[in-house]
């Protein structure tokens, strides 16, 4: 059975780093309440056990593989959400696949063939983000690697393209181009507003643009959303400038659903 359901808005959400149980609980509780309010949401809980590509060697990286997997298993058992985390080496795929329903391939690693093959081998959904250095047309080659290695289900992620130094821009044509590959395309809203390496050894960001870009991406044909949320982003160990404060998250989801419903209701009349 496929996790993606075109009759619901796919929402992948969690803290950037799994950090600790308190942070995970706070985000999962908010998501659980949203699920009760909006049954048209298809929610996947996300969290990273290792932020392996930090700008500075002194930056915190997260709880590690063992503790991270335990936290994700807790979320599954306690709240009933499917869970996703990213892997960085082929060896991690089998371990993560024992708990996670979705294996995420980081944007910087989207062309790493061995990583893609290992993720496919788990027979879990593979969510691969388009590299900041790739055109949307080149994602066809990434998807083909997964398809030819018999991946169970493939999701593609758009997270912006480098536009000069320390800046990302989202080309809204990407959703139509990547959709032609035959697999759902998800908009990574919070990473798209990053300013990589632009905050004294950390990534900066402009979270005020998260909602406008979400609305634009849904209008352009995005099939789902990836939004990182945190109870106190300023104290987050990673992506402090781009994560959405949990207090603001329900409003963003409500607005996103409004846009999704309008587009969804017109799909039978207009082809995007």
Q: For the chain, give every domain's residue range.
A: 9-53+67-266
More confident residue, 199 or 186: 186
Residue 59 has pLDDT above 50, yes or no: yes
pLDDT, mean of residues 74-91: 98
Query: What's the rounded Cα separation, in Å, for the pair 29 and 44?
Result: 13
pLDDT, mean of residues 118-146: 97
User: Half-sphere exposure (CA, 13 Å, Cβ side) for 54?
Assistant: 21
pLDDT, mean of residues 46-68: 85
pLDDT reported for residue 48: 96
- Best CA proximity match to 63, nearest among 52, 77, 76: 52
pLDDT, mean of residues 146-171: 94
Residue 54 has pLDDT above 80, yes or no: no
Residue 198 has pLDDT above 70, yes or no: no
pLDDT, mean of residues 199-205: 65
pTM (global) more than 0.85: yes
Query: What's the rounded Cα separation, in Å, for the pair 235 and 233?
Result: 5
- Helix H segments across the chain? 21-37, 65-79, 90-97, 113-121, 139-148, 174-179, 210-220, 249-266
If pLDDT is split at 50, 70 and 90, which confidence band does 57 have?
Answer: confident
Contacts of 231 (CB under 8 A, 6+ apart): 23, 26, 27, 245, 246
Contact 54, 78 (CB under 8 A): no
CB atoms within 10 A of CB 20: 14
Select the CATH number that applies to the domain covering 9-53+67-266 from these four: 3.30.70.380, 3.20.20.120, 3.30.1330.10, 3.20.20.70.
3.20.20.70
- Best CA proximity match to 119, nearest among 131, 109, 133: 109
If pLDDT is split at 50, 70 and 90, which confidence band does 215 have?
Answer: very high
Backbone angles phi, psi at 179, to 5 degrees: -60, -30
pLDDT reported for residue 272: 47
């Amino acid at each position: 059975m496929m996790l993606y359901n075109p009759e619901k808005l796919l929402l992948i959400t969690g803290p950037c780093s799994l950090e600790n149980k308190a942070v995970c609980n706070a985000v999962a509780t908010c998501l659980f309440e949203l699920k009760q309010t909006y049954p048209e949401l298809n929610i996947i809980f996300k969290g990273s056990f290792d932020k392996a590509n930090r700008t500075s060697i002194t930056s915190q990286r997260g709880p590690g593989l063992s503790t991270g997997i335990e936290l994700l298993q807790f979320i599954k058992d306690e709240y009933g959400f499917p869970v996703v985390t990213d892997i960085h080496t082929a060896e991690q795929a089998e371990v993560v696949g024992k708990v996670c329903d979705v294996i995420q391939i980081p944007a910087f690693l989207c062309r790493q063939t061995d990583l893609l093959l290992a993720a496919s081998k788990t027979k879990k959904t593979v969510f691969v983000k388009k590299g900041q250095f790739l055109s949307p047309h080149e994602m066809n080659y990434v998807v083909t690697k997964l398809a030819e290695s018999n991946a169970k289900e493939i999701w593609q992620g758009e997270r912006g393209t480098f536009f000069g130094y320390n800046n990302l821009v989202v080309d809204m044509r990407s959703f139509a181009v990547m959709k032609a590959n035959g697999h759902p395309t998800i908009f990574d809203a919070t990473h798209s507003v990053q300013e990589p390496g632009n905050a004294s050894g950390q990534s900066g960001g402009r979270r005020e643009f998260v909602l406008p870009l979400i609305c634009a991406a849904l209008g352009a044909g995005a099939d789902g959303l990836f939004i990182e949320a945190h109870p106190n982003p300023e104290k987050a160990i990673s992506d402090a400038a781009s994560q959405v404060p949990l207090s603001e998250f329900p409003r963003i989801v409500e607005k996103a659903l409004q846009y999704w419903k309008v587009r969804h209701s017109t799909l039978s009349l207009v082809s995007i």
